[in-house]
Amino acid sequence: MQDFRAKIILVGPVGVGKSSLIRRFVFQMFSDLYLSTIGVRVDKKTIEVEGKQVHLLIWDLAGEIVNDKAYSNYLKGTDGIIGVFDLNRPQSYIDLQNILIAIQKEFPGLKSLVVGNKKDLIDESTDLRDLYDYDYLSSAKSGENVELIFEKLAEKVITSHETV
């Protein structure tokens, strides 16, 4: 089976649940201390996509450093990004849009997914499509769609590499 390595970054404002999504997806080797000191922590998960062994190197970037120069340096060489916002905080959706626009400007063509997180806290009767434009909804608490999000991004990345 062919091995494939990809760098994935989770971006989004502070407190939207990026680290919780990763924690749900992988066994973390390094402590949260790295996030508060250098603004990043790297984790890994190997999944199987389209008959390929895909090693996802997942970079969790602290929301606090979004305006730092370090932020764009960490984004270099990224294969795909997952933009996360909090479904309960409309402002976080606006902030995420601004972050994604800035990233696309610097790294055009970068594969991305937009994820509305904390679905477990939302009233089921709410029509979220009226409020937000997103690819997936997730809940780090219940684990809903967490694996799916990473798999879908991995598929996108592999497809883009194969069509190069």
Partner 1 sequence: MSQVEAIQELRNLLLSDDRVRIESQFDGYKSELLSAIQKVESEISDPEKFSVHLSKNKTTMIDILGPMMGQMIKKYVEAEIEKINEKISNSRNWFKNKLTNLFVPKSKRTRDSLSKIGTPEIKQVLLIERDSGLLLGKYSDDRDVDTDIIAGMFTAIKSFADTAFSSEENELEFIHYKDHKIRLFPYGTLYFAIVFTGRDTVVLNEILTAGISDFMDRYYERYLATQHRASLYDDISGLIEKEFKEICKTLEQKSY
What's the min distance (Å) between Cβ of 39 and partner 1? 7
CA pair distance 158, 151, nearest whole angstrom: 10
Is-contact 77 7, C-beta < 8 A?
Answer: yes
Q: Is 161 in the site for partner 1 (CB under 8 A)?
A: yes
CA distances from residue 16 to 83, 91, 104, 108, 126 in whole angstroms, order as listed: 10, 11, 20, 24, 19
Q: Is 51 in the site for partner 1 (CB under 8 A)?
A: no
Q: Which of 22, 40, 96, 99 binds partner 1 (CB under 8 A)?
A: 40
Q: Is 78 in the site for partner 1 (CB under 8 A)?
A: yes
Q: Is 17 in the site for partner 1 (CB under 8 A)?
A: no
Instruction: Give the residue among 147, 157, 118 at the shortest CA–CA distance from 134.
Output: 118
Interface with partner 1 (CB under 8 A): 2-7, 29-30, 34, 38-44, 55, 57, 59, 68-70, 73-74, 76-79, 161, 164
